[in-house]
Amino acid sequence: MTQARLLGALGALVVLLFLAALVTGPAPVGPGESLAALIEGGHGPLTLVMREIRLPRAILAVMIGASLGLSGAAMQGYLRNPMAEPGVIGISAAAALGAVLAIQTGLAALFTLALPVAALCGAGLGVALILLLAGSGSSSLALILAGIALSALASALTALVLNLSPNPFAANEIVFWMMGSLADRSFTHVLMALPLMALGGLMLLRCGRGLDVLTLGEDAAASMGINLRGLRLGVVAGVACTVGAATAVAGAVGFVGLVVPHLLRPLVGARPAALLPAAALGGAILVLAADIAVRLVLPGRDLKLGVLMALVGAPVFLHLIWRMRGQQ
Amino acid sequence: MVIRGRLAALALAGSLALPAFAEAPGRVVSINLCTDQLAMMLAAPGQLVSVTYLAQDPRASVMAAEARAYPVNHGLAEEVYLLRPDLVLAGRFTAQATVAMLQRLGIAVVIFDPAYSLLDVRQGMLDMGRTLGRDAEGQAMAEAFSARLAEIAAPASAVTAPRPTAATYAANGYTSGDRSLSGEIIEAAGFEHLAASMGLPQGGVLPLEALILANPDLVISGQPYPGASRAEEVLSHPALLALSGDRTAMQDRDWICGLPSVLAAIERLRATRDDMGGQE
């Protein structure tokens, strides 16, 4: 399958699932009626539901899925390790810690972008720490161990901050920050996440050529004129922006960046540059599908996205570990 | 209902003998926000020796100022035991491990059920009075409550025209049921309770979508606690703010406990309703 046809097929699937997400919800309204209310307006409360609740939710699902798929593909390309994924190696957890700190200190209330920027800082620190502990070329084992340590530390600190909050509801939100959810998000959140996601996405997509050459090894890449330092900066900043913004509005949704590149890699001939846009679309498909599923399985009960993602993602992760075992 | 509670307490604690109530208990400790406030109103001077720290929280307690006069406890068996109480007042759902521990230590515990209705409020006053050996005060409070309730609630029930619908909406999309104290307060104020038509008599989570589509005439939400939480973010969702109906806020303290102050809650909601009628 050519690159263009693959992207076309994935894009069509995104559109289809986007429409399905719009007509899925606890309110018992027919699909035709709800889409009419969305487009024409003037259907009273139904228009309000479609425009202010379901539309931002579906848009966020696309944005967050694309961000996570893209950052997973980029990290895996840079570290040349199929297990490098923001959720699995603790970068999402670090972003969540940044977001929770911003919310609980009141920083988030100062200006609109304060929340995603704080999450970005958390994610950036997380990526930097991971690269320091298990830089490119080191074993999968080192990467996973570093990820476990970062994950555990960030999650524990998040729980601590939320438990110290004077707000009686805050402590219950540990689940949201660790599992992620799109319930009751609004256009405020879309606008909050969009600038950083767009910036980070562009940075990561521009890394494509560098990542392609890097598959030959660092020395070969350097001799072919790739600025390795620039490439690393691009990956770190891009991942921090996309994962930070996604986590700030939806909590830590794991496994998207693991499953999507894993499934799409054979279809793009294992070329990182070709994988990046495909993984972005694939991520959008996965998160849209998961967000539809959580609403169908338990309507109106806010089943966390991370629950479904783990059910899909953990077997893939185990499969990767199994393969790694075979190689040794 | 409290009689049921007392029987349950008796069944749990063999040590709680009825003759203990023949004379007023000298040292009473309360470990529940609602019993804190009722006891502060009804106890004899010096009889109540400690209330919970929640009673001093102005968001949760209507008697925060009065509660400052008492040493606080955190509902822990250890600190309560060290206060050497003759009687501990507890709620049905608070600190069950503590209650069991205190009973094992031989301390009399009276368990009060939460007030689920306006009738329960009256009964709670009578029961608290009897428990503290202050029957006369409890009866006087219950009579005053009933009389005032009859005054302010009667006109509402006489209204035959279709009543405006009201829904409570709290953190995490929780709405209280119509068969609850807040439900009866809303109905006494002259509203139709949305939860009744939604099939949520005991309350529960109402998806924001469902609330918007039901389009109630009044949404009653709580006032957010300090220190932000995602649970409360739903209360400032643009779709909720764009509803055509009115919005008002009630603080938790106004109606979580069966106290005389629920009358003030009814009056406030009634005033809101009358304002809405004026607009139509």
Asked whether the beta carbons of A84 and A112 are under 8 A apart, the reply is: no
Q: Across the interface, do A45 and B215 touch by the CB < 8 Å criterion? A: yes
What's the whole-number average pLDDT of chain B? 84
Nearest to B238 among A52, A109, A165 (CB): A52
Q: Across the interface, do A109 and B207 touch by the CB < 8 Å criterion? A: no
C-alpha–C-alpha distance, residues B37 and A279, integer Å? 60
Asked whether the beta carbons of A65 and A291 are under 8 A apart, the reply is: no
Based on the domain organization, do B221 and B267 belong to the same domain?
Answer: yes
DSSP single-letter state for residue A51: I
Asked whether the beta carbons of A25 and A296 are under 8 A apart, the reply is: no
Q: Across the interface, do B238 and A49 touch by the CB < 8 Å criterion? A: no
Based on the domain organization, do B138 and B207 belong to the same domain?
Answer: no
- Write down which residue in B74, B108, B143 finishes a domain: B143
Nearest to A169 among B171, B212, B239 (CB): B171
Based on the domain organization, do B132 and B182 belong to the same domain?
Answer: no
Instruction: Report the gap between the CA of A105 and the closest CA in chain B (Å).
Output: 8
- Burial class of residue A246 (count of CB atoms within 10 Å of its CB; 0-12, 13-18, 19+): buried
Interchain contact A225–B (C-beta under 8 A)? no
Nearest to B205 among A169, A173, A301 (CB): A301
Based on the domain organization, do B46 and B109 belong to the same domain?
Answer: yes
Query: Is residue B38 in a domain?
Result: yes
Based on the domain organization, do B105 and B211 belong to the same domain?
Answer: no
Instruction: Report the gap between the CA of A188 and the closest CA in chain B (Å).
Output: 8
Domain ranges for chain A = 3-327
Asked whether the beta carbons of B43 and B34 are under 8 A apart, the reply is: no
Based on the domain organization, do B72 and B108 belong to the same domain?
Answer: yes
Query: Is residue B150 in a domain?
Result: no
Predicted confidence at residue A326, as pLDDT, reads: 67
Residues of A with CB below 8 A from B239's CB?
48-49, 52-53, 186
How big is the A-B interface in CB pairs under 8 Å? 88
Q: Is the ipTM of this complex over 0.85?
A: no
Residues of B with CB below 8 A from A46's CB?
213
- Write down which residue in B143, B170, B187 finishes a domain: B143
C-alpha–C-alpha distance, residues A185 and B34, integer Å? 35
Q: Across the interface, do A49 and B226 touch by the CB < 8 Å criterion? A: no
Tell me: the pLDDT tens digits for B187-197? 888 888 898 88
Based on the domain organization, do B164 and B137 belong to the same domain?
Answer: no
- Confidence at A2, pLDDT banded by 50, 70, 90: confident
Tell me: the pLDDT tens digits for A248-267? 999 999 999 999 999 999 99
Q: Across the interface, do A45 and B243 touch by the CB < 8 Å criterion? A: yes
Query: Is residue B79 in a domain?
Result: yes
Helix (H) or strand (E) holding A197: helix A187-206
Residues of A with CB below 8 A from B171's CB?
169
Query: Is residue B273 in a domain?
Result: yes
CATH code for the domain in which residue B212 is found: 3.40.50.1980
Based on the domain organization, do B129 and B253 belong to the same domain?
Answer: no
Q: Mutation test of the interface with chain A: which of B213, B217, B243, B244, choosing the one with the most A Cβ atoms within 10 A?
A: B213
Nearest CA in chain A to B213: A45
Asked whether the beta carbons of A105 and A238 are under 8 A apart, the reply is: no
Tell me: the pLDDT tens digits for B79-132? 999 999 999 999 988 778 889 899 999 999 999 999 999 999 999 999 999 999
Based on the domain organization, do B129 and B30 belong to the same domain?
Answer: yes
The stretch A87-93 carries a mean pLDDT of 91
Total domains present in chain B: 2
Domain range spanning residue B51?
Answer: 2-143
Based on the domain organization, do B74 and B138 belong to the same domain?
Answer: yes
CATH class of segment(s) A3-327: mainly alpha
Based on the domain organization, do B176 and B102 belong to the same domain?
Answer: no
- Write down which residue in B91, B113, B143 finishes a domain: B143
Tell me: the pLDDT tens digits for B245-274? 888 888 888 888 999 999 999 999 988 888
